[in-house]
Amino acid sequence: MATTTLSAKVLFAIVSAAVVATSVATGNTKASYGKVLFMTFDGLRWDYVDRTSTPNFHRLIKNGVTANYVSSSFITKTFPTHYTLATGLHQESHGFVGNQMYDPVLDAHWTIRNQSKDPIWWDDGEPIWVTNQKQGYQSGVFQYPASDVRIRGHYPTYKLPKYDGRLPNNDVIDLVIPLFANDSINLGVLYFGTMDSAGHTYGPDSAEVDQAMQECDNNIGYLLDRLEAVDKLDEVNIIITADHGMTSVSSENNIRLDDYLDRSLYQYDENNPIYGIWPKNEDDTDAIYDALSNAHPNLTVYKKADIPERYHYKSHRRIAPILAVADDHWHIMLGNETSPYKGAHGYDNALQSMRTFFVAHGPAFKDGYKSQVFSAVDFYPMMCSVLGLTPSPNNGSLESIMPMFSGAAGTLSVSNLVIINVLCLWMTLYITF
């Protein structure tokens, strides 16, 4: 199936066109499986939905499934955590280990400000839309990180040329609804940055964050109305989550590396409050580690081999020889820099402030079911289950997911469940890069 790159104007022309029911042109049919609309609200912390009036989110919760919280992946930054959600892989497995990172084999840097579209940065993982398209179906992916990258030979079937932060959330919703309406896609993937922006600017405990939460709730109401208008509300499985939470920070809480290290000795990956330290001379590694290891009471420093296993963040070449990790509420800075933000993320994913929200609603899911907790790596096998796909090897598990499915879902045979669990186990035990 040829990839179709659509501009916003072309896609909005689809929105205004008459909705005509058609069959998927691939010859494959999803009659026995589900459709999925996967949505992430960047920075939507686990507790935001209950802090203010969010009737549309609670409509989904009442008639769907939710969890106390989702454990994000480490490090809790936007690009690496979104790639974990899409691939079911820990960051050490998919290799996208920061909003900034260095690859010693390529001798090249990837930064969020100068984003390379070279697939070599992404091809260690297989996102859900690539799995979907490799098995004969079509996807619409809008604004989501990596949606404009050719991964393992595939762009999303429908996409924007690049991320456009000026596009209102309801307009993004309008890009995907007609594609579901005429059965052009079985998978839609959307990203919204509203909550992250509000959390950074005003802090997670602010009235402005609650107001942003209400705006996002209005977006969900708009989505439900649009799906109902095209008679797809009872057909599409809506899955909503986030990449990370948010914590309060102060411009006074700064750990300044220049107070302890000569900057000429190293280069670095700046993922504040996490720094990857790359000694320019390997012989300086111990001296740099020793200089930082007891430098500040709110800084923890690891040699790569000693990074805690629970982070799943040591086995990839792009992870630095030394990792500096700040405590909750603290910044790592160079020179006399200060942060203008009142909220931040990137911290230890075990912190309550870094936990995220989850709800799923649709024919594949039970009504009013609540799970305790599950991991960001579990979303990929969840979506494969609903879509009836054989997953790529991943670190996820179906153990916490299967109780959420309705008895009528019928999206997986027992044999497929065995395949998924074997692949998950294989990846967990043996994957190395």
Q: How far apart are CA 32 and CA 43, in angstroms?
A: 35
By DSSP bridging, strand 358-361 and strand 236-241 are antiparallel
Enumerate the H helices of 95-163 as residue ranges. 128-134
In 3D space, the residue among 57, 177, 189, 175 whose CA is nearest the CA of residue 130 turns out to be 189
**What 3-state class would DSSP assign to 174?**
helix
What is the spatial distance between Cα 199 and Cα 44, in angstroms, rounded to a whole number? 9
Query: Of 54, 66, 76, 78, which one is the catalytic site residue?
Result: 78
Residues 6+ apart with CB under 8 A from 158: 4, 6, 11, 138, 139, 140, 141, 142, 175, 179, 184, 185
**Contact criterion met (CB below 8 Å) for 173 and 229:** no
List the beta bridge partners of residue 374.
70
H or E stretch covering 226: helix 207-229
Helix (H, G, I), strand (E, B) or coil at 298: coil
> Does the annotation mark 54 as catalytic?
no
- Catalytic positions are 78
